[in-house]
Amino acid sequence: MCPLQKTYVLEENQQPIAVQISIEDFQRLEAMIEEYGLMDAMIAKGFPRRKSLG
């Protein structure tokens, strides 16, 4: 995965309060989270884990 290009949003006293990322990075992260959640739900329902090739 490529490193995220992020911008920190600061308060007036320079304390970070948020992080801004591009929509492309957000969509990529969102897809990864959804895939992880689906995999977790499938395992909970008894579906076998995919075996690694290595």
pLDDT of residue 51: 60
* Tens-place pLDDT, residues 5-36: 999 999 999 999 999 999 999 899 888 888 88
Give the pLDDT score at 20: 98
For the chain, which residues make up each domain, given as ranges?
6-44
pLDDT of residue 17: 97
Q: Tell me if residue 8 falls in helix, strand or coil.
A: strand
5: which residues sit within 8 A by CB, 6+ positions away?
21, 22, 25
What is the pTM assigned to this prediction? 0.59
Q: What pLDDT shows up at residue 52?
A: 54
